[in-house]
A and B are shown apart, each in its own frame.
Chain A
Amino acid sequence: MLYISRWKMLAIIATTLIVCSFAIPNFFPKEQVEKWPKWAQRHIVLGLDLQGGSHILLEVDSAAVRKEKVEALRDDVRRVVRENRLGSPSAVTVRGNTVEFRVRDGVDQKLALQKFQELSQPLGGLLQATGQRSIDVVDAGGGLFRLTVTEPALVERIRQSVDQSIQIIERRVNELGTVEPSIQRQGVDRVLVQVPGLQDPQRLKDLLGKTAKLTFRMVDMTTTPDQAEAGKVPPESELLRGSKSENGQPYVIEKRVVVSGEDLVDAQPGFDQRTSEPVVNFRFNNNGARRFAEATQSNVGRPFAIVLDNEVISAPVIREPIIGGSGQISGNFTVQAANDLAILLRAGALPAPLTIIEERTVGPGLGQDSIDNGMRAAWIGSLAVIIFMFATYGLFGLFANIAVAINVAMIFGILSLLNATLTLPGICGIVLTVGIAVDSNVLIYERIREEVRAGRSALNALDAGFTRALATILDSNITTFIAAVVLFYIGTGPVRGFAVTLGIGIVTTVFTAFTLTRLMVALWVRWWRPRTVPI
């Protein structure tokens, strides 16, 4: 056990040096590291709890997606009913996820069923046909048909919504000018947004929480807001409120959309030339410009409304036809509000509303405090352990301390190699590893002490001590490793950081116990040829 061949020795030293060297980039300023070759640019990422930042978990509003999907189906059914003269389109009703329709007497029910079934499409595309369809069509007898949006179709739609949302959120967050935001899907219907080093998470949340569905519509002049509030809203219009800066004033707005935000090609914040109040200047694409021009030409003198997420931003009167395809939105904005609206309009509307279901924000000040505290605790803890080990085992304690120091360096090396995230609990994991890493040495040394006591010679005792202790070291560390792995899978954020350092710490601990400590003792034996073990 104590004889280590030259090649093995070299392999051990080389492995240790290589692993430790991965930590090197962490000691250089970022700008310098960026000039290095790509493979050398590995570094530890500080967790949001250490560098400050926001962790925001958003969930797609499944109810809204469901509603939208069912309403789209209702419209489709109405169209089929109209085109095939199956009855009155207004007799199509919605109940939960189901659209119901009773065909009028004398209609060929087989034909009706066939027409309805044409609405249903196979799911999963051509490549991964699943045999599932988007809509269930049931002939309930007596001319009654029930069409239901299937669950897989809904899930598919939610999935798509999340994919689209991620792209839009990326565009919105990038406009904030933050460094390295991370936007990931979580599960089926969630998006995790992590933005480091943000001073004001409220602005981020405002940008994330808005669907930003912009529409230009005409104000319904056939009735007044007061009448509408009393319950008399014309069927083709709806009652909407003005934004807060408009004091929540009610408006009756036509449901028909003249132009929507999809037809915008650009939006920029600016100032009104006359009033010098902040506004958003926008430009339509050809299609939007044409329709906007037509609508303004035939409605001079009437007000139209700019509606964002069912809130009326402003309702100016059309003084002259707007044919250039560009215009401006004013609505008592502050500079930042105008700026944010421009960002939202440029990034596009979310396909479905997103709700914030979890937020964790740490300010930069607290993050720095945590780093300072964590490092201080790490130094003091390590120093205490080092002194104690030296007092207990003397020279061998020194070996153990060197092994532990290298152990910690290797943990940092592996963390860098994996570009892993270091969190405050992660620092705890490292400190704990220091306490535990010496355990492997303690196991070996105590075993050697025992063997010496049992009357073995120095060399014999050393050899037997290592051989017997190593099996135990492996056994005892695997249990903790299992706990670390489970913790990694169930944990989020900081806790995961703890699991990572704990797990890596166990691996490096076992490695150093099996190689470095043994190497040091072996070299010592070779050079000093001891007769007794100073332990």
Chain B
Amino acid sequence: MRIPLLRIVPDDTKFDFMRFRRISFPISAVLSIVAMLLFFTHGLNLGVDFVGGTLMEVQTKSGPADLAKMRSAVGSLNLGEAQLQQFGAPTDVLIRIPQQPGGELAQQQAAQKVRAALGDEIDVRRIEVVGPRVSTELLAYGIFGLLVAIIGIFIYLWFRFEWQFALGAMIANVHDLVLTIGFLSLMQIDFDLNGIAALMTILGYSLNDTVVIYDRIREMLRRYKRMSIADLLNISVNSTLSRSVITHVTVTLALLALFFFGGHAIHAFTATMLFGVVLVGTYTSIFIAAPILIYLGVGYGRQEADEPAPKEFVAEVADKAGAAKPAAAKR
């Protein structure tokens, strides 16, 4: 007996994605605005990489950590608003000391004070001390890097496709980044250098997806000179849909494994990626990146004919495969 192969997306799926743009575009606009509002009101929870200060991961040598006691011990040092939080196991505590006034040396001294205050009951498992100069530079580099990546990818797409595609991909892309930043702001996820890495990867993969669909659209544009652009986009998205879904399942599986089993150190990183790559990236390439091409004037000036659906997609299947599948409803 043969076990049938898994088919998540049925073979003859014909969803009208283009019509859905009347819903998806307003939704995206609203979400983007919300994300930006969140960013400007709540801001990002910038890590020590970008604001300077000290981050310590400590572990008690015996028994669970007494957070209250540690808080008062650190609090009595007058180092500003120190944050202590449990980090994974009950024995592990993450301590964040804000940047100290008084330049580079003061940061090191603060770290030493905290260490002394907590005494011998704890092991310092990790310590990061970032001075004011380095943190300013890292933030500037991070933003600069994102911009360079966006521009680099734009130029590549421009060479590879027409400018409308490059622009469409960029709009989709920025939309992804904005929503992800909103998510970071909403969840107050610690945003450090790893966060920049996550954003870059989201950029790369969300585009990966978009490019696959665009590739198909370009192929269709060459093959069907007379089909209406909306139909053409719909067919392109539908025919790549199965691939999009399967790929996202595999990426999600990999990311979920990292999220649940990869330890606390990469939690923020994988959470950001899960949101950006899996949730937003997929949605964007299908519901934003493809339909936006209509507005950007792809296929403008085509002589559209009455007959919308290509033969190959309906007729040929029915003919040669011996009517194995019911023909899809014609639009």
Contacts and interface: CB of A to CB of B under 8 A. Distances in A.
A358 B130 contact: yes
Interface in A443-497: 443, 446, 449-450, 453-455, 468, 471-472, 475-487, 489-492, 494-495
B269 A428 contact: yes
A333 interface: no
Nearest to B195: A495
Nearest to B216: A472
Interface in B214-257: 215-216, 219, 239-240, 242-243, 246-247, 249-257
B197 interface: yes
Interface stretch (B20-28, B35-43, B76-84, B199-207): B199-207
A443 B254 contact: no
B257 A384 contact: yes
A146 B162 CA distance: 61
A381 B211 CA distance: 26
B255 A435 contact: yes
B320 A438 contact: no
B250 A483 contact: no
B121 interface: no
B255 A391 contact: no
A77 interface: no
Contacts of A475: 160, 211-212, 215
B270 A490 contact: no
A96 interface: no
B204 A483 contact: yes
A424 B266 contact: yes
A129 B256 CA distance: 59
Given A385-B250, A432-B254, A482-B152, A365 B194 contact: no
B145 A487 contact: yes
Interface in A121-155: none
Given A472-B215, A482-B153, A499-B197, A359 B253 contact: no
Interface in A342-367: 355-363, 365-366
A369 B92 CA distance: 13
A427 B211 CA distance: 26
Interface stretch (B62-70, B180-188, B288-296, B311-319): B311-319
A376 interface: yes
Given A471-B215, A482-B156, A483-B153, A502 B201 contact: yes
A389 interface: yes
Contact of A431 (B152, B246, B254): B254
B145 A455 contact: no
A323 B200 CA distance: 68
A72 to B, nearest CB: 25
Contacts of A369: 263
B263 A370 contact: yes
The 6 tightest CB contacts between A and B, nearest first, are: A381-B257, A373-B263, A435-B254, A480-B204, A455-B320, A490-B145
Interface of A: 49, 57, 59, 201-202, 205, 355-363, 365-366, 369-370, 373-374, 376-378, 380-382, 384-385, 388-389, 391-394, 424-425, 427-428, 431-432, 434-436, 438-439, 442-443, 446, 449-450, 453-455, 468, 471-472, 475-487, 489-492, 494-495, 498-499, 502, 534-535
Given A205-B108, A355-B131, A449-B242, 19 more contacts: A357-B131, A360-B129, A363-B123, A363-B126, A373-B262, A377-B257, A392-B246, A432-B201, A432-B254, A435-B252, A439-B243, A443-B247, A446-B246, A453-B321, A455-B317, A455-B321, A476-B208, A479-B211, A495-B193
